[in-house]
Structure 1
């Protein structure tokens, strides 16, 4: 069962290890990212950053979707991490049972496509295209918030999409 799906361009890092994996008890972390899933160096660095008591899989988006369709996945408590809005939309559209999604960090680095991004919170900046993608995610997910760490108040994504 997917306990939480998180959009975070840093994927596995200190907030995941010290906060989210404790507040949302999980026994598996699945990173769904084409670059990380196809690059052994990136995958290994993510595995090294993960908590030692949690099994981690770093997969391409397609392979992560396939893994999550495996009936054995329902026996585990999973934190699913994606690194960009398009990957988030893909997994939400293709995987049943994603009810809770949060955005931690996204868009603070310069957009590789040259598009302008607007700061919508201290840790999230979005282009108009990214807002459109997240609006589609918002239609499919019950609980969709911006929340960098569990100890700060969550902001409903719908409220930032209306601005």
Structure 2
């Protein structure tokens, strides 16, 4: 079961690898990112950042959907990472009932196009704002929480002020 799907433009880094995997008590991490799945250098860097206590899979979004929907995934607590809201929405739509919650944590800092600051550490393009709105309609918690010690902020409420 996917304990949390986190949107973080850095994918795996210290905060994710150490704090979140422990807080969520997961045994596996899936990076669902087309670019990382194709780029051996990026994949190698992500593997180095992953704690040895976690099983790591680096998959394209489509391949990650297959892994998440595999019956064997139901028994293992898994943490999924992607770097954009659009990919998070695709995963939630195609993996119905398998994802407990979505954390839109750190996203948009490396995007060089028009974007709106939705909350601290979250800057979304107009397309990503619409994807976030759709995500909030899927019946699972969608929130912003940078570290496990931070309070959760509802994304739907933050989007109300965005046109």
Q: TM-score range by the shorter chain?
A: over 0.9
Question: RMSD in angstroms over aligned alpha carbons?
Answer: 1.1
Which residue of 2 is the match for residue 106 of structure 1? 107
Aligned equivalents of 1:65, 1:148: Cα separation in 2: 25
Which residue of 1 is the match for residue 83 of structure 2? 83
User: Cα deviations across residues 76-130 of structure 1 (Å, max 9, x unaligned)?
Assistant: 100011111111111011012212110110012243xx3x212222211112221
- Matched-pair contact (CA < 8 Å) for 1:100–1:141: no
Q: Return the TM-score normalized by structure 1.
A: 0.94
* TM-superposed deviation, 1:17: 1.6
Listed as ranges, the gaps of 5+ residues in structure 1 are none
- Matched-pair contact (CA < 8 Å) for 1:98–1:141: no
Give aligned pairs, total.
160
* TM-superposed deviation, 1:71: 1.2
Q: Return the TM-score normalized by structure 2.
A: 0.94
DSSP 3-state at the match of 1:140:
coil
Q: Hey, which bits of structure 1, 4+ residues long, moved more than 4 A? A: none
